[in-house]
Structure 1
């Protein structure tokens, strides 16, 4: 569609066309990263082997049709579960609710393991306020927080994925947590998480 005489002009036009930007698959995405994060590989062995009470996993569970969501926390040894209502997934909302849950339960929080969601970017505030150490799982390795992932699946029995959380209050969240904590678990010798922590206390 272009003869030889027009070849130079055509080439000049092609060189000025918009540059196509492609993702560099070997490059690292640094968006939302926070300096000084502890990787899960640095977590003490006794946490990995569930030898001590007071080590938690944390996650957020999103709703449908609104910004409202949940923060869930599960103690690794006992499977004791805490659920907090959030108006949104901001760091401010998350830290406020997590701080409230920690004070409300009176249980020890020695370590907390999270994913790399931006809602956890202000984790150092929780460390300073509550004397716990945060660790972060490898991106896209959900099995590194398997206890929390499994618990979120149980929570979905009460709050299906397509259900809005706009009208969900903290009282309802606490009721769901109570039901989970009074459910016998095979991994605990058919004790409930509540019975387990009662013996701990």
Structure 2
């Protein structure tokens, strides 16, 4: 969901919902915007104890009228920012320092764009950035090359809002852990409410092989599957096959928004404890990955009140088991 300015009507809605005790997240869902938009609005245009929509609209209008955009192309500003990046400051550090000293302000996103334009023009400013920043522009190039297209892709914006609440089991996230450039890997599937993990290896990260693993892992518990949220890797291009086989609905995150599959990303990090980067999954036995998965599923989690993912999942799953599929990770 992209950022857009709030209307005055929405400001009156925010005021009304706040008066009856609604949370910022609930208000955002109701007026169809991101929760960060509500947080930003209250921080900028509200006071410590109240939010007055008419005053908020006046403050917002004044801020927009007094904003000066021309300075952002000034050569002196670009030169100064460039020197700080070459001194290995991050874009966030540059923007934060400018805010602190009260000078001309630019956002960290503007600085990222400056670095990207410099790279497209043949510059080397990106090389002074830390690895995450470098990857950011590798992703830009991948997107320009048209990589990762998924046929009949349904975006996460169409996923039922109830999935966000994690109140019921049945909503899963899927990803792959790679060895090299898709030479081999592991398919990981994590249930959002419980954190319960299923995983298996594939010798090649091809769509057909990944689809077979997903069907094999989820078929025995298909009564506990309603949705599966995936990233945009081409290995999930065969999503229609496993969606039909398992009677589930597949959704895809926005490009490069791994935070929309936060449970899966965090669990992949835990699995890396057993299979560090550089592991050739073509040489990992099914027994070895099952043992690692079982350990994670039976490790207490703080967010679950120190219950284990297995306790929460099997405690709430009332569906019958299909024993024709793969062995379950219990």
TM band (smaller chain)? 0.7 to 0.9
- The partner residue of 1:60 within 153, 173, 176 is 176
Segments of 5+ residues of structure 1 without an aligned counterpart are 1-20
- The partner residue of 2:217 within 91, 97, 101 is 101
Shift of 1:165: 2.1
Shift of 1:198: 2.4
Shift of 1:107: 5.0
Partner of 2:286: 170
Higher helix share: 2
**How far apart are the structure 2 equivalents of 1:103 and 1:33?**
26
SS of aligned partner of 1:135: strand
Partner of 1:153: 269
Structure 1 91/65 Cα, relative in aligned 2: closer, same or farther at 3 Å? closer
Residue 74 of structure 1 pairs with residue 183 of structure 2? no
| Structure 1 runs of 4+ with >3 Å offset | 27-32, 104-107
Residue 48 of structure 1 pairs with residue 164 of structure 2? yes
Segments of 5+ residues of structure 2 without an aligned counterpart are 1-119, 122-139, 318-330
**How far apart are the structure 2 equivalents of 1:122 and 1:68?**
17
Please tell me whether the aligned partners of residues 68 and 165 of structure 1 are also in contact (alpha carbons under 8 angstroms). yes
1:9-67 CA-to-partner distances (Å, cap 9, x unmatched) read xxxxxxxxxxxx98xx8x96544423431111111111011122110000000125982
Please tell me whether the aligned partners of residues 68 and 87 of structure 1 are also in contact (alpha carbons under 8 angstroms). yes
Q: Structure 1 residues 175-184 or 65-74, which shifts more?
A: 65-74
Please tell me whether the aligned partners of residues 66 and 165 of structure 1 are also in contact (alpha carbons under 8 angstroms). no
Q: Structure 1 residues 46-55 or 100-109, which shifts more?
A: 100-109
Please tell me whether the aligned partners of residues 222 and 246 of structure 2 are also in contact (alpha carbons under 8 angstroms). no
Higher strand share: 1
**How far apart are the structure 2 equivalents of 1:190 and 1:68?**
34
1:123-178 CA-to-partner distances (Å, cap 9, x unmatched) read 00111111000000011111111110000000010011022223202221111110
SS of aligned partner of 2:278: coil
TM-score, normalised relative to structure 1: 0.82
Name which structure has the greater RCO, CA cutoff 8 Å, separation 6+.
1
